[in-house]
Amino acid sequence: MFIGENLANLRIMHGYSRKQLSEKLGVTEQAVWQYENAYTSPKLQIVNELKRIFSVKSKYFYTEDMLARYLTPASVDLMNIAYRSKVFNVISKTQAEAKHVEYLDAFINYITAKVNLPTLKIIKLRDEVIDYLKHSDDDRVVQINQVARLARERLDLAQSTNDNLIFLIEKSGVFVFEKAIGEEIDAYSLWTQNNRAYIILGNMKRSAVRRNFDIAHELGHLLLHYRLEFANLDRKEHKMIENEANLFAGALLLPEDEFASDMKDVAHITNPDDYLDLKKKWKTSLQVLGYRAAQLGFMEPKAHRNFYAAMHRKKYLEREPLDKIIPIQKPKKIKAIIDLVSTRGLVDIGQMIEDTWKVELSFFHQLTGIDLSFFNKYMTRDLDFGFQNIASIHEYTSRDDI
């Protein structure tokens, strides 16, 4: 029997309205509604087209999908999604991203069912931040800077580099994924009801420094705005919350004492080119360096305006020097977990994709942002790669955690 809820889940995750899907299928919008609500079952020709559109197998539509089997009900609340975005309160987009995280959450539940991951630093840090904010009488700027200092310390970020930023955030317990979110959205983050933290990064970034700022910005939301109902914010409130996350990101990426020492070597504070060595060191943009210098009082407002004017004149607002040279940090945690459970014989990844999830490889590529080549080795049952990834796996787990 055709399970209409499976179709509805796929449609929502892909961001299609019933009307849009009906146009792709060449049927009426009413027909799609009937499929999803189990009033009628689609003909084989329609099922084949659904397979193609959503990169799943026919049998996907005739057995309970992974959301029904492995997702904790009401785990993902679309009200709690924090966007780094030019768009504002686009409900259809928020629903699509919430459904995407539901699929990710079901996948992680499945893949880690036989693995005990280490105690999560991110939850301890979040609770410490909540306690500090609850009892602090400091003004908000002081609070945000203190939370950034606390985060850098608790996540074991070195005081003089951001080289391992994504790795250490993943190691703390945050699940970081890449996705083609679209040009209007840079990234988003949320806590699930089960206290799992997600950061979803757009994979259309032009530079490593912009990505670093995005992940720091989203970490700010996770720590400063826990369970805030972002969907209910008006434009003024949304702008204020975004500014707080920006302030946190600058403070996290450029710790005050070390940055103050660095600024002594900047000969001309309004000349962006004089900050290039600092860009190499911190892996942050010239814009962020200038913003942080102004925020800490190393530039007067007029000097910062001159700095920004120079950025515009040199066309650095479009692309900065070194953007093509500094390597982009990429998420690796979920790949390490997949390698771990496969190497240990806990999960047959090829069987999981074809028989358990009943999808095509491209479905998992879209879901996780991981290259198809990574999954291909499992589809051929070629597991001779053996223990080549064990070293990286143990960065996230230890032998005692298995």
Q: Which CATH code is given to the segment(s) 1-63?
A: 1.10.260.40
- Tell me how far CA of residue 57 lies from CA of 47, 96, 359, in angstroms: 9, 21, 5
- ∠181-184-189 over CA atoms, to 5°? 55
Q: Which amino acid, one-letter code, is at 137?
A: D
- Between CA 202 and CA 330 the distance in angstroms is 11
232 band by pLDDT with thresholds 50, 70 and 90: confident
Average pLDDT, integer, range 292-321: 96
Q: What is the pLDDT of residue 380?
A: 67
Which single residue is written with the structure tokens 């997949």?
338
**pLDDT-based confidence at residue 32 (cuts at 50, 70, 90):** very high
Strands of the 185-191 sheet, one edge to the other = 82-85, 185-191, 197-202, 175-179
**Mean pLDDT to the nearest integer, 157-181:** 94
What pLDDT is recorded for position 111? 94
Cβ-proximal residues to 10 (8 Å cutoff; 6+ apart), any chain: 50, 54, 56
DSSP-H helix ranges across 254-389: 256-263, 276-282, 286-295, 301-313, 333-343, 349-351, 361-368, 372-379
pLDDT tens-digit readout, 77-99: 888 888 765 555 566 678 899 99
pLDDT at 316 over 80: yes
Sign of the torsion angle spanned by Cα atoms 299, 305, 310, 316? positive
By percentage, how much of the chain surpasses pLDDT 90?
80
CA angle 16, 365, 68 (to 5 degrees): 60
Structure tokens at 275: 């900050």
Domain 121-253 fold is Arc Repressor Mutant, subunit A (1.10.10)
pLDDT of residue 381: 53
pTM of this structure = 0.92
Query: Torsion angle, CA of 80/139/299/288, rounded to 10 degrees?
Result: -20
Q: Determine the pLDDT at residue 398.
A: 45
How many CB atoms are located within 10 Å of the residue 53 CB?
15
- Confidence check: pLDDT of 312 > 50: yes
Task: Round to whole Å and give the CA distance between 147 and 182.
Answer: 30
Which tokens sit at 197? Answer: 């933290």
Mean residue pLDDT of the chain comes to 90
pLDDT score recorded for residue 89: 52
Domain layout of the chain by residue ranges: 1-63, 121-253, 256-313, 333-394
